[in-house]
């Protein structure tokens, strides 16, 4: 039997729109499973619910209904202290908005989860990693002084050093030049070869075509699942959605 790292069943997510008791349903019954070492991509138009799906399936935002299981655990049933440890040690997130602490330096942001878990910080290794992803700024500079692309690399490095088993990435290469994007993709691919499961939202069809499975999302519903997708197939699946 192949181990399921992620298993979500029939997830729906509604949010209050602020107007009286009106609710907006963003996700309508999405089911999906992913295996050890699998590289999954989620593609779809803006506003189709990709970020919401990633937040729900990663334990960050509780779905209105449906079930979520990551590494055999329902993250929404964990007590707060266990939930914090789970997020710090088992799952990694690369957010669209980076989620860095502006008052800390790039280096301190990267090692924060390690320090909180009382793990050893290998400074030379982290400097080497930053070099390998073409991070040209000083690691001791505050993130508030960095460009969008540099911040993105700090957010990526933070996940790469964390040794987690599942990585959720929301357009991780969106703010990067194409060379850096390819390097990051290569590092994520290397992690999947070591058994890490990566779920990546992307607008980049070429990149999605190099993942193991692509999922297209439209209006909060899962539309197509393409195994070993190629760019043409993906392009057609997404163009069909435009009609």
Ligand X SMILES: Nc1ncnc2c1ncn2[C@@H]1O[C@H](COP(=O)(O)OP(=O)(O)O)[C@@H](O)[C@H]1O
Cβ proximity to Mg ion, 49 vs 229, nearer residue: 49
Alpha-carbon distance 114 to 37, whole Å? 23
- Please choose, out of 30-38, 46-54, 128-136, 191-199, the segment that lies near ligand X by the rule CB under 6 A: 46-54
The minimum distance between CB 17 and ligand X, in angstroms, equals 6
- Taking alpha carbons only, the member of 196, 197, 174 closest to residue 184 is 174
Q: Under a CB-based contact definition with an 8 Å cutoff, are residues 200 and 172 in contact?
A: yes
Considering only residues 34, 49, 164, 237, which one is a binding residue for ligand X as defined by CB under 6 A? 49
Q: Is 192 in the site for ligand X (CB under 6 A)?
A: no
Binding-residue pattern over the window 8 to 27 for ligand X, x denoting contact by CB under 6 A: -------x-x------x-x-
The minimum distance between CB 87 and Mg ion, in angstroms, equals 20
Q: Under a CB-based contact definition with an 8 Å cutoff, are residues 83 and 90 in contact?
A: no
Alpha-carbon distance 128 to 125, whole Å? 5
Q: Look at residue 178 and give the partner it binds from Mg ion, ligand X, none, a contact being a CB closer than 5 to 8 Å depending on partner kind.
A: none
User: For residues 183, 47, 151 and 172, what is the CA-based torsion angle, rounded to 10 degrees?
Assistant: -20
CB atoms within 10 A of CB 36: 16
Cβ proximity to Mg ion, 108 vs 204, nearer residue: 204
Q: Is 51 in the site for Mg ion (CB under 5 A)?
A: yes
Tell me the DSSP string of 156-221.
HHHHHTS--SEEEEESTTTTS-HHHHHHHHHHHHHHHHTT-EEEEE-S-HHHHTTSSEEEEEETTE
Q: Interface residues for Mg ion in 213-242 (CB under 5 A)?
A: none
The minimum distance between CB 95 and Mg ion, in angstroms, equals 10
**Structure tokens given for 171:** 């357009």
The minimum distance between CB 116 and ligand X, in angstroms, equals 28
- Please choose, out of 49-57, 115-123, 206-214, 233-241, the segment that lies near ligand X by the rule CB under 6 A: 49-57
Q: Is 51 in the site for ligand X (CB under 6 A)?
A: yes
Q: Under a CB-based contact definition with an 8 Å cutoff, are residues 96 and 170 in contact?
A: yes
Alpha-carbon distance 16 to 182, whole Å? 39
Q: With contacts defined by CB under 6 A, how many residues of the chain interact with ligand X? A: 12
- Please choose, out of 31-39, 42-50, 106-114, 146-154, the segment that lies near ligand X by the rule CB under 6 A: 42-50
Residues lying near Mg ion in the complex (CB under 5 A) are found at: 51
């Amino acid at each position: 039997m192949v181990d399921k790292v992620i298993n979500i069943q029939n997830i729906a997510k509604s949010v209050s729109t602020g107007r009286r008791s009106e609710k907006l349903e963003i996700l309508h019954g999405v089911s999906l499973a992913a295996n050890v070492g699998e590289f999954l991509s989620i593609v779809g138009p803006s506003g189709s619910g990709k970020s919401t799906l990633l937040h729900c399936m990663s334990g960050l935002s509780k779905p209105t209904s449906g079930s979520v299981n990551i590494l055999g655990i329902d993250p929404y049933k964990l007590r707060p202290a266990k939930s914090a440890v789970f997020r710090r040690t088992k799952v990694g997130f690369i957010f669209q908005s980076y989620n860095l602490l502006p008052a800390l330096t790039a280096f301190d942001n990267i090692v924060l989860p390690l320090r909180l878990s009382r793990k050893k910080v290998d400074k030379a290794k982290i400097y080497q990693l930053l070099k390998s992803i073409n991070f040209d700024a000083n690691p001791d500079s505050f993130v508030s002084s960095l460009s969008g692309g540099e911040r993105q690399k700090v957010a990526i490095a933070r996940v790469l050093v964390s040794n987690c088993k599942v990585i959720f990435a929301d357009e991780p290469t969106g703010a990067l030049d194409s060379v850096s994007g390819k390097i990051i993709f290569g590092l994520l691919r290397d992690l999947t070869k070591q058994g890490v499961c990566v779920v990546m939202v992307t607008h980049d069809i070429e990149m999605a075509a190099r993942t193991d499975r692509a999922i297209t999302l439209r209006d909060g519903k899962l539309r197509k699942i393409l195994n070993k997708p190629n760019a043409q197939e993906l392009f057609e699946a997404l163009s069909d959605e435009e009609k």
